[in-house]
Amino acid sequence: MRRGLGGLPASGAPGPHAGHEPDATSDAEINKSIKNHRGLQDAFLYPRPDAFSSKSLALQAQKKILSKIASKTVANMLIDDTSSEIFDELYRVTKEHTHNKKEAHKIMKDLIKVAIKIGILYRNNQFSQEEVVIVEKFRKKLNQTAMTIVSFYEVEYTFDRNVLSKLLHECKDLVHELVQRHLTPRTHGRINHVFNHFADVGFLSTLYSLDGDCRPNLKRICEGINKLLDEKVL
């Protein structure tokens, strides 16, 4: 099956059979696995101050977490190379906007952990039939948001920070609904941390400023999103 971001189904890909008996995969098990691997914990909590690599964190997370708790059906990377490149650019613009390298690392760490946890749940058939419907709603909303991000960049003077902020908050609400019975309040807090940052109108204004320092980063973000859209990952 073609996979989308975080292991969710790509556009047009069928979902899992809801009647499949799921493997036991809980938020507590995922977090326990992280804590039991000092190298992964250090990578998340104490990243090198002079470097950031979404791909590196994702690779470590997949290797160390999935090797302990996920079934053998998980074979491919949960976060693809293009998405990792987009995440790297998001880290750079977040650092530029917040002027806080530590906070930028924390936001991206939370984003990667949430994406991987949802991917694990999906690939291990943990979602009920009703939740699979929510997966499809989220995929469509994410697709709409991605196309809006690109459109606001490619067509000058169309950017509306309130429209984009609303779409991102709608994505956040769907993620909360999807994982409500699976993940802990702490993970729900991470979801809020990530989406509230990227949906912040001040951050969006910085990102889309026509003469701002983030313009080259936005260009690369949109190039990556366009690639994911063309490949029907988004």
The string of pLDDT tens digits covering residues 150-185 is: 999 999 899 999 999 999 999 999 999 999 999 999
For the residues 13-27, what does the mean pLDDT come to?
48
Please indicate, yes or no, if residue 202 is contained in any of the structural domains: yes
CA atoms of 3 and 49, how far apart (whole Å): 32
Q: Which residue has the tokens 């940052």?
A: 197
Work out the pLDDT band at 70, boundaries 50, 70, 90. very low
pLDDT of residue 20: 44
Please indicate, yes or no, if residue 71 is contained in any of the structural domains: yes
Q: How many domains does the chain have?
A: 1
The domain in which residue 208 lies consists of 26-230
Nearest to 144 by CA among 114, 172, 122, 164: 164
Residue 158: CATH number of its domain: 1.20.1440.160
Please indicate, yes or no, if residue 11 is contained in any of the structural domains: no
Please indicate, yes or no, if residue 219 is contained in any of the structural domains: yes
Which of 42-51, 74-83, 130-139, 161-170 has the weakest average pLDDT? 42-51
Please indicate, yes or no, if residue 20 is contained in any of the structural domains: no
Nearest to 194 by CA among 95, 134, 129, 114: 114
* pLDDT exceeds cutoff 80 at 38: no
78 or 98, higher pLDDT: 98
185 touches 176 (CB < 8 A):
no
Work out the pLDDT band at 212, boundaries 50, 70, 90. very high
* pLDDT exceeds cutoff 80 at 10: no
Please indicate, yes or no, if residue 164 is contained in any of the structural domains: yes
pLDDT of residue 124: 85
